[in-house]
Every structure is written in structure tokens, then in C-alpha cells.
Structure 1
Amino acid sequence: MKDEYIQTLHPIEGKTNKRISLKKYEIIKDNILSILAESELTHTELMEELYSRVKDNFDGGVQWYGETVKLDLEARRIIKRTGKKPEKYKII
């Protein structure tokens, strides 16, 4: 059976994001949303927490997939940046 893929979006108009495995997308998305449901985090904090949660059971670069999916979630208006310093992410 062939893997399914998703074309991810980018929050900056005119930029394109990557086409990635739907299975990997779902794993990273679920973890990002779970993390942000607990608290607002900076980019570094979010990526470190994501890495600590999935590193042992994820095949691929956690930080790369994390960034790609985070941008997609921003473009889909599921998460957003707080606009304050330090910049943090939260669920809309």
C-alpha cells in the first residue's frame, strides 16, 4: 500500500511548504497540539518538548518535521504567535 501524503501550507503568502507523509504529519500535529494545550511556549521550548516526546518512536528529523507542521498549523489558523516578546505559540 502506498503512503499517503499531505501538501503542507506556509503562513507567508507566495511561499510553498513541503509535501510530507500524512502519517508523520498526524504524529507531529497531534503532539504539537497536545503540548500547546498545556501552555504557551517559545519556538525553542516547543521544539525541545516535541523532540523529547517523539524522538524514540519517530523515523525522521523531528525538528524538521516539527517546523514544517508548525508552519502548516499557522497557515491553517490552528495555532498562532502571541505577538509579544518573547514570541510564543498558542492554539487559536
Structure 2
Amino acid sequence: MDKVACRTPAEGRDGITNIPAWKFDVVRGAILGALECGPILYKDLNAAVQARLDDQTLADLGKLGWHVVTVKLEMEVRGEIARLDVKGPQQIKAV
């Protein structure tokens, strides 16, 4: 089974989490889909991803919130998404 090494953009944190490639691809696609209309509040990201996945995929994924955070951080490292530099709640956008 292919795995994707997911990193974090935080300085001083060197940990890598390996997740199955199909899970990474599914969650990544849903995150990008959620950002098609513009930036989104981080607190709304789980619901936006969940709305884009069918019940069987959600069941196969397991803990959705954990996967969303893990994939989101790797996407930040890759430069696919970025946090907006604004006051208040964290917002993310596609790059």
C-alpha cells in the first residue's frame, strides 16, 4: 500500500506522519474543492470536506478531523494552500 509522508510547516517540529495515499488524495481533493470559491475559516474546513465525501468514503477514512489536519499541514508545506495573514480566526486559501 502506497503511503504519503505528511509534514508540518511549524518550525522546530520534524515529525512525519505516513498515511495511505488514497486517503491523502481523497482529503486533498475535498480541501481543494472547498477552497474553489475562495478562502475558508479553518473551523469550517471539516464540515466542508465532509460535505464533499460520500458515506462509504467517510466510513473508510476513519477519523475525519485527524485526516483533515494532517493533509492540510502537508498541503501548506507543499505550497498548495496558505494561511491568510489576518487577525481573528485562522483562514486558509488555495495558492
Decide: shared fold, TM above 0.5: yes
1:12 paired with 2:10, answer yes
1:25 paired with 2:24, answer yes
Unaligned segments of structure 2, at least 5 residues: none
- SS at 2:11's partner residue? coil
TM-score relative to the length of structure 1: 0.88
Partner Cα distance (2:69, 2:35) in 1? 14
Moved more, 19-28 or 51-60: 51-60
Aligned residues: 90
Q: How many percent identity over aligned positions?
A: 27
Task: Give 1:1-92 correspondences, 5 Å limit.
Answer: 3-15=1-13, 16-54=15-53, 56=55, 57-58=57-58, 59=60, 60-84=62-86, 85-92=88-95
Aligned letter for 2:90? E
- SS at 1:13's partner residue? coil
Aligned letter for 2:50? Y
4+ long deviations beyond 3 Å? none
Unaligned segments of structure 1, at least 5 residues: none
Confirm or deny: 8 A CA contact 2:7 2:74 kept in the other structure.
Answer: yes
TM-score relative to the length of structure 2: 0.85
Moved more, 9-18 or 20-29: 9-18
| Greater share of strand | 2
